């Protein structure tokens, strides 16, 4: 029976699909396996079911051995995998697009609203016993309704965010290099360049993958072009934003706030400067973290894995 290494305890729905179909081992460490532990764990395996926290490079693939047929990532993003190295070795690579779109867009919208209306600061205020009376100037924030939302990356999640924004009467601008005319027309969204978006967006939300081209695409130059009242939201990948530039711009109030589900580095160490800023809301990469969506991701990853082990095309190969 084919041997499989699963790099973390995934939802039962995925494990149930694999039961009896392969001989799998689940990594039971407290966190992700280290690179060395990964190399040891995959040795002799035909398949790997991985997470975005695992760096799957040629070294890991070679540590597995020439019999490795498939790497199935339980994530839509696959920047943790050296896809070229996998292709060179004839290893199929799969991901889990689509099933997490709406859940991730829900969180992006929640972060926008949370930062705009200063929800976390409000909770802290109450818990600290500072809620002494209704105050005409207490915790004033920014309106979502009628505001301009800039979406960087108008793919599945970006468009799902635009649908939510429509319900709040927001004007939607987007940046994308692909042909998005149909979606733009349907959603009433307008294509602009990043340079055009930066000075006019009240909210800017990032939805592009991490690539060498997108790394630090939001740095000090871009942040300085944004409105002082603007709010930056990132639910995509942490390295899209230069953290030092963001800290500086939040501290100097060059922008009003940031709401981050993803960070650079990830996780952010306790004591990191961004965590000390009241206008920076950080949650621990939970964009797809609903019960239903994680079950769907686990089953999709399991199906990709089984197809790869059987040597048939994966239902969801990475592009
Ligand atoms: C992904 O799938 O790439 C998200 O970042 C986690 O669900």
C-alpha 67/C-alpha 239 separation (Å) is 34
Average pLDDT over residues 224-238: 98
pLDDT band for 79, please (50, 70, 90 cuts): very high
The pLDDT tens digits of the residues spanning 236-288 come to 999 999 999 999 999 999 999 999 999 999 999 999 999 999 999 999 999 99
Tell me if 7 sits within 8 A of 38, measured CB to CB: yes
Q: Determine the pLDDT at residue 232.
A: 99
Annotated active-site residue in 121, 196, 247, 266: 266
Residues 173 and 200: beta-carbon distance below 8 Å:
yes
Q: Does the beta carbon of 76 sit less than 6 angstroms from any atom of ligand 1?
A: yes
Q: Secondary structure of 170-198 in the HEC alphabet?
A: CEEEEECCCCCHHHHHHHCCEECCHHHHC
CATH superfamily placement of domain 101-282: NAD(P)-binding Rossmann-like Domain (3.40.50.720)
Residue 285 bears catalytic tag: yes
DSSP at 317: B
Query: What's the whole-number mean pLDDT along residues 138-160?
Result: 98
At residue 203, does pLDDT exceed 90? yes
Q: Whose CA is nearest to atom 4 of ligand 1?
A: 75
**266 classed as catalytic:** yes
Q: What is the mean pLDDT of residues 225-234?
A: 98
| CA 100 – ligand 1 centroid, Å | 8
Q: What are phi and psi of 126, to 5 degrees?
A: -65, -45
Q: How far is the CA of 76 from the centre of ligand 1 (A)?
A: 5
Task: Give the pLDDT confidence score for residue 239 in this predicted structure.
Answer: 98
Which pLDDT belongs to residue 30? 87
Q: Which of 164, 237, 294, 303 is catalytic?
A: 237
* 234 and 255 Cβ atoms separated by less than 8 Å: no
CA dihedral (38, 39, 44, 46) positive or negative = positive
Q: Is 238 in the pocket of ligand 1 (CB under 6 A)?
A: no
Residue 134 Cα to ligand 1 middle (Å) = 40
Q: Does ligand 1 have an atom closer than 6 angstroms to the CB of 288?
A: yes
Mean pLDDT within 215-230: 98
- The number of residues in the chain equals 319
Q: pTM for the complete prediction? A: 0.97
Substitution candidate for ligand 1 out of 288, 291, 297, 318 with most atoms within 8 A of CB:
288
Same fold, 3-98+291-310 and 101-282: yes
Distance 52 CA to ligand 1 centre (A): 7
Q: What is the pLDDT of residues 52-64, one digit of tens each?
A: 999 999 999 999 9
For the chain, which residues make up each domain, given as ranges?
A: 3-98+291-310, 101-282
Q: Binning pLDDT at 50, 70 and 90, where does residue 134 land?
A: very high
CATH topology assigned to domain 3-98+291-310: Rossmann fold (3.40.50)
pLDDT at 21 exceeding the cut of 90: yes
Share of the chain above pLDDT 70, in %: 100
Per-residue pLDDT of 95-129, as tens digits, reads 999 999 999 999 999 999 999 999 999 999 999 99
**CB distance 75 to ligand 1 below 6 Å:** yes
pLDDT tens, residue by residue, 27-54:
999 899 999 999 999 999 999 999 999 9
Which of 287, 301, 319 for mutating ligand 1's site (highest number of atoms within 8 Å of CB)? 287
Is the CB of residue 107 below 6 angstroms from any atom belonging to ligand 1? no
Of 69, 207, 285, 303, which residue is the catalytic one?
285
């Amino acid at each position: 029976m084919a041997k499989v290494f699963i790099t973390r305890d995934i939802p039962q729905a995925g494990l149930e699909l694999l039961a009896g179909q392969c001989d799998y081992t689940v990594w039971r460490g407290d966190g992700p396996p280290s690179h060395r532990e990964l190399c040891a764990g995959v040795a002799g395996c035909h398949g790997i079911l991985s997470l975005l926290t695992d760096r799957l490079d040629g070294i890991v693939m070679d540590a597995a051995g020439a019999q490795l047929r498939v790497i199935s990532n339980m994530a839509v993003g696959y920047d943790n995998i050296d896809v070229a190295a996998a292709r060179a070795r004839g290893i199929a690579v799969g991901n889990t697009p689509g099933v997490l779109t709406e859940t991730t867009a829900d969180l992006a919208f929640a972060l926008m609203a949370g930062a705009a209306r200063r929800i976390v600061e409000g909770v802290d205020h109450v818990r600290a016993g500072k809620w002494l009376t209704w105050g005409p100037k207490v915790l004033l924030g920014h309106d979502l309704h009628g505001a301009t939302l800039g979406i960087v990356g108008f793919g599945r999640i970006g468009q799902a965010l635009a649908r939510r924004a429509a319900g709040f009467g927001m004007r939607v601008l987007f940046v994308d290099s692909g042909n998005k005319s149909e979606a733009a027309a349907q959603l009433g969204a307008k294509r602009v360049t990043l340079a055009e978006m930066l000075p006019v967006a009240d909210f800017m939300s990032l939805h592009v993958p991490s690539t060498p081209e997108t790394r630090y695409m939001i740095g000090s130059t871009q942040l300085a072009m944004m409105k002082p009242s603007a709010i930056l939201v990132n639910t995509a990948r942490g390295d899209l934003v230069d953290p030092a530039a963001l800290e500086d711009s939040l501290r100097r109030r060059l922008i009003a706030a940031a709401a981050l589900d993803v960070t650079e580095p990830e996780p952010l160490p306790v004591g990191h400067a961004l965590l000390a800023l009241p206008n920076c809301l950080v949650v621990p990469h939970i964009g797809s973290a609903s019960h239903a969506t994680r079950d769907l991701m686990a089953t999709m990853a399991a199906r990709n894995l089984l197809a790869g082990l059987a040597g048939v095309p994966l239902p969801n190969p990475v592009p």
